[in-house]
């Protein structure tokens, strides 16, 4: 299970199949908060992911108090993009 408070990683189901023709999708949550962290948003998204067979939450990326106007200063967003490009998440 992912530690929602500290944006930790990694679930033990990574790379496992869930049935005959199903493959686990390694998914993430990205959340950008205004000036304070709102874990209820992340919790809602985590619950949504848990309801989908074959979805494996591997990481939560967060940017707190950073403008959404540009991606330059959004370290959480940029880390998510790097991980996607490297193939570590689907």
**pLDDT for res 3:** 47
**pLDDT for res 10:** 44
**pLDDT for res 43:** 93
**pLDDT for res 40:** 85
Q: Is the dihedral of CA 64, 65, 70, 73 positive or negative?
A: negative
Supply 54's token pair. Answer: 């074959």
Question: Low-confidence residues of the chain, pLDDT below 70?
Answer: 1-21
**pLDDT for res 20:** 56
CA angle 62, 10, 51 (to 5 degrees): 80
**pLDDT for res 41:** 86
Supply 9's token pair. Answer: 């990683």
């Amino acid at each position: 299970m992912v530690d929602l408070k500290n944006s930790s990683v990694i679930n033990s189901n990574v790379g496992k199949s869930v049935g005959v023709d199903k493959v686990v999708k390694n998914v993430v949550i990205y959340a950008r908060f205004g000036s304070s962290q709102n874990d209820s948003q992340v919790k809602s998204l985590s619950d949504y992911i848990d309801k989908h067979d074959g979805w494996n939450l591997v990481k939560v990326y967060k940017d707190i108090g950073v403008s959404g106007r540009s991606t330059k200063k959004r370290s959480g967003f940029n880390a998510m993009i790097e991980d996607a490009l490297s193939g570590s998440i689907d």
